[in-house]
Amino acid sequence: MHRLIRNWNKFLNESLNEEIVFKIPFSYEPHTKLNQRFWNQPGDKLDPEIRERLLKIAQDFIDSSQAADAPLKDITFTGSLANFNYGPLSDVDLHVLYDFSDINEDTELVRDYFQAAKSVWNFTHDIIINDHEVEIYGQEASDPHTASGLYSVLNDEWIVKPDREDPKIDYKDIRVKADAIVSEIEKVEDLLEDGKYKETIERAEKLKDKIRRMRQAGLSDVGEYSVENLAFKTLRNNGYLGRLSTTKTNAYDKMMSLEK
């Protein structure tokens, strides 16, 4: 294990090509315990004060949404802070679960609505619990769950209790996938530089969707240590996904600007 981690750290500090250097601010080595600032009760149950705070945050999100009167299925805590793979940049992933058909028969419309509601809420709030940012989502209860840890905040019990596992990391494939995405991001930035604002927005949207599908495919097939998910985390933690979003926003702003 220690040799694997040393090799991984060496990889993270090597140049993927002559221009790109990726560094990850946390190790992918699993911890021996869950984060004890969250899971400090017998049986690794969620800290009661944190649970109450998450329930209040979820309720405020619900009350501000168009689904305030719909039957609630669950409120869950998932992601790396609900397993052994947490790090300094891990979010508190808080999910509010519904049967979307209880809200509107057009379930895709509901899904799109919650995507927008999530973006507005997370943009307008900066909630930090024990140095970790809270991200909240509205989710269809029947959607498959791919993370290794899933906790019902509503019922105060594990739905899927995580097991610690040693990662098997394919350094070469991570390098190839991350490098390819960076090249595409740079092409989008070039379009902005050339004043092709509409094309910049279209390419950025397609690339963001491609990255999302890449990550989901890896999670569904292999799990959190998949090449696709680790490539995604490498891109995110080195600011490339932020650069892509900023490029899209700047293109829109310039396209909508008018100078007389």
Torsion of the alpha carbons at 147, 127, 45 and 144, rounded to the nearest 10: -20
Pair (185, 116) in one structural domain: no
Pair (90, 181) in one structural domain: no
pLDDT the model gives residue 29: 64
Domain range for residue 74?
A: 48-160
> Which candidate, 211, 214, 186, 210, places its Cα nearest to that of 200?
186
Pair (143, 180) in one structural domain: no
pLDDT the model gives residue 30: 74
Residue 21 lies in a domain: no
Residue 29 lies in a domain: no
Nearest 5°: the CA angle 85, 224, 84 is: 20
Pair (136, 87) in one structural domain: yes
- Confirm whether pTM is higher than 0.75: no
Residue 225 lies in a domain: yes
Residue 11 lies in a domain: no
Q: Which residues pair with 140 in a beta bridge?
A: 98
Structural domain tally of the chain? 2
- Type of residue at 12: L
pLDDT the model gives residue 72: 95
Give how far the C-alpha of residue 252 lies from the chain's centroid of Cα atoms, to the nearest Å. Answer: 24
Residue 53 lies in a domain: yes
Pair (71, 123) in one structural domain: yes
* Token duo for residue 109: 């419309």
User: 139, 160, 181: which is the final residue of a domain?
Assistant: 160
Residue 43 lies in a domain: no
The string over 91-122, giving b where at least 16 C-beta atoms fall within 10 Å of a residue's C-beta and e elsewhere, is ebbbbbbbebebbeeebeebeebbeebbeebb
User: 112, 128, 160: which is the final residue of a domain?
Assistant: 160
Contact 90, 132 (CB under 8 A): yes
User: 119, 142, 160: which is the final residue of a domain?
Assistant: 160
Residue 71 CB-half CA count within 13 A? 6
Q: Consecutive sets of 10 residues in the chain, 260 residues long: mean pLDDT of each?
A: 46 46 53 92 94 96 90 93 84 94 92 88 90 92 83 96 76 84 94 95 94 87 80 86 93 87
pLDDT the model gives residue 167: 66
Pair (131, 106) in one structural domain: yes
Residue 1 lies in a domain: no
pLDDT the model gives residue 19: 47
Pair (147, 216) in one structural domain: no
Pair (156, 231) in one structural domain: no
Rg (alpha carbons) of the chain, rounded to whole number = 20
